[in-house]
Amino acid sequence: MPLKIKNALISLSDKNELDKLLKILQKFKINIISSGGTFREIKKLGYKCTEVSEFTKFKEMLDGRVKTLHPKIHAGILSKRADKKHRREMRKTRFQYIDLVVVNFYPFQETIQKTKNFKKIIENIDIGGPTLVRAAAKNFSDVTVITDKKDYKKFIDELNKNNGSTSLKFRQEMSCKAFSLTAYYDSVLSNWFNKRLDILFPEKKTIFGNKISELRYGENPHQKSSVYLNDLFKPEMGLKKIKGKALSYNNFNDIYTGLEILNSFKKKGTVIIKHANPSGVSLNGTPIETFKESYLSDPVSAFGGIVACNFKISESIAKEMTKIFFEVILARSFDSKALKIFEKKKNLILIDISKFKISKNYEIRSFNNAFLMQEKNKIIFNRKNLKFVTNLKPSKKDIAQAEFAFNVCKYVKSNSIVISNSFSTIGIGAGQPSRVDSCEIAVKKAKKFQKKKLKNSVAASDAFFPFPDGVKNLIKAGVKVIVQPGGSIRDSEAIKLANKSKVKMIFTGVRHFYH
């Protein structure tokens, strides 16, 4: 049922668009209670207002930490209008009902993004605001709560429509939004404290998210999807879309995989991603050469994929890229001539990643009513712990090439086999339940697209070979260096086969499963 608003409490950190709100409250003769900066702003704008300390007959104290935390305020918000006992108690104390609460919080997240001053950060933890909002949200049957200035227009329309009243449906919607805000705010606080104290796995874990946008669709067109920002210190994702259609769930999934791999590079390179797996990776040569090499790794799979580069796209690179159909191109900026070339591709999405930075030291995956959380896989291998288990020992160049291939393995869905030559992939076998199948796929792709480069190539396996059959397939194809974690009960058989074939084998002691 519509509920007439007579008294409103307003306490705002962000006072933008306050005038719009005051006009509608004045129109329906709604009394305003406020304090501090909000009270002064209301008076400055020329509207009548009762200060909280005058309303409660209790002066604010502790440098403003205690002002709205008063029985007269919270009784006015929490009292149930239809409850006889509540009405009797309100009459006895001569407390007034508060029918509208308009609050936004101290900018805690914005503060930690701007300063490391601990005292200033602590003072920007809002107590009174969330308390008012929770009280009003709980009592939505009788109280309207507004926590977002984006809802001012909805609220104004609601009052005009209902002659100064709000509907139960509207109050429920605003209550739901209010509880989401207090949960978000507390989650930010909790995560900030955990990070400050270096607590990665607390007993109670909350995940906050600020909706960035709805996506074109989910993994499939019939699925809806949105992207949320979960970052304490950055107000944006760091991904600037230059042109192109709206992004989909799959686009983001591929983008994140590409960015993860790029983040592991120390040199300029290119990654091509398809269905969250790299189809080609190269650090070999100039920027344009790395693009060509990564494409030649698997030109069939590259079709319709995304390209991720950690360099600026020039006109010559753009010309090469537009010869192929890609959905998304990521780069550390684009020069003006490149942009003109890309402009011809109407649906092509261009994203500037020059301000993107990976800051999380953990990752989360969810399913149904549970989620998994783990540390990020930050290492490739430790060179000091490598074991050269064959008669022929690898050279420094071999080790560098093995490190490249083993690094790519980290980002290929398990079971994964990566064959490379001269710091460019030439065959990738991904996501197979059987390791020997992954070997066969990697070899098959290399033979199809880069047969000449199979000779003296390097192969990396994300986990040990349970049987020597996979090793046999790689050696037969022309692989001369194999890098793997080791640890199988049949390691000796693989080593024996490598020695017989004059192949070098390296054990890392590090596994890189990726599911």
Q: What is the pLDDT of residues 311-343, one digit of tens each?
A: 999 999 999 999 999 999 999 999 999 999 999
On whether both 40 and 184 belong to a single domain, the answer is yes
> Which one is catalytic: 6, 74, 86, 138?
138
On whether both 415 and 463 belong to a single domain, the answer is yes
Q: What is the mean pLDDT of residues 395-412?
A: 97
Domain that holds residue 453: 383-507
The answer to whether position 486 is within a domain reads yes
Residue 36 has pLDDT above 90, yes or no: no
Residue 3 has pLDDT above 90, yes or no: no
pLDDT at 157: 95
On whether both 53 and 117 belong to a single domain, the answer is yes
Peptide bond into 162 cis (omega under 30): no
Q: Exposed, middle or buried: residue 361 (CB in 10 Å: 0-12, 13-18, 19+)? A: exposed
The answer to whether position 252 is within a domain reads yes
Residue 251 φ/ψ, nearest 5 degrees? -55, -50
On whether both 191 and 223 belong to a single domain, the answer is no
Q: What is the mean pLDDT of residues 268-276?
A: 96
Range name among 104-113, 277-286, 380-389 with the lowest pLDDT average: 104-113
Cα(295)–Cα(63) distance, integer angstroms: 63
The answer to whether position 204 is within a domain reads no
On whether both 261 and 182 belong to a single domain, the answer is no
The answer to whether position 330 is within a domain reads yes
Cα(282)–Cα(294) distance, integer angstroms: 5
CATH code (residue 414):
3.40.140.20
On whether both 172 and 94 belong to a single domain, the answer is yes
Q: Residue 132 in contact with residue 73, Cβ under 8 Å? A: yes
Cα(250)–Cα(19) distance, integer angstroms: 43
On whether both 339 and 397 belong to a single domain, the answer is no
Domain boundary residue, one of 307, 329, 352: 352
The answer to whether position 344 is within a domain reads yes
pLDDT at 54: 83
> Which one is catalytic: 149, 275, 337, 345?
275
Domain boundary residue, one of 334, 352, 370: 352
Question: Could you report the per-residue pLDDT of 148-199, keeping only the tens digit for each?
Answer: 999 999 999 999 999 999 999 999 999 999 999 999 999 999 999 999 999 9
Question: Could you report the per-residue pLDDT of 455-496, keeping only the tens digit for each?
Answer: 999 999 999 999 999 999 999 999 999 999 999 999 999 999
pLDDT at 60: 76
What 8-state DSSP symbol labels residue 393? P
Q: Residue 353 in contact with residue 259, Cβ under 8 Å? A: yes
- Most confident listed range (228-237, 355-364, 445-454): 445-454
pLDDT at 67: 74
Short-list 351, 249, 242, CA closest to 307? 351
On whether both 343 and 387 belong to a single domain, the answer is no
Short-list 368, 376, 434, CA closest to 410? 376
pLDDT at 204: 92
Domain boundary residue, one of 352, 374, 396: 352
On whether both 271 and 178 belong to a single domain, the answer is no
State the pLDDT confidence band at 449, using cuts at 50, 70 and 90: very high
CATH code (residue 192):
3.40.50.1380
The answer to whether position 395 is within a domain reads yes
Buried b (16+ CB within 10 A) or exposed e, 184-193: bbebbbbbbe
Look up residue 24 and give its two tokens. Answer: 């509608």
Question: Could you report the per-residue pLDDT of 37-74, keeping only the tens digit for each?
Answer: 899 999 999 999 999 888 888 777 677 677 777 888 89
How many structural domains is the chain composed of? 3
Known catalytic residue at 275 = yes
The answer to whether position 202 is within a domain reads no
Look up residue 236 and give its two tokens. Answer: 């944006």
- Write down the pTM of the prediction: 0.87
Q: What is the mean pLDDT of the chain?
A: 94
On whether both 190 and 65 belong to a single domain, the answer is yes
**% residues pLDDT > 90 (the chain):** 86
Residue 1 has pLDDT above 70, yes or no: no
On whether both 345 and 388 belong to a single domain, the answer is no
Question: Could you report the per-residue pLDDT of 418-448, keeping only the tens digit for each?
Answer: 999 999 999 999 999 999 999 999 999 999 9
Residue 97 φ/ψ, nearest 5 degrees? -75, 145
The answer to whether position 307 is within a domain reads yes
On whether both 251 and 148 belong to a single domain, the answer is no
Known catalytic residue at 138 = yes
Look up residue 319 and give its two tokens. Answer: 């010309």
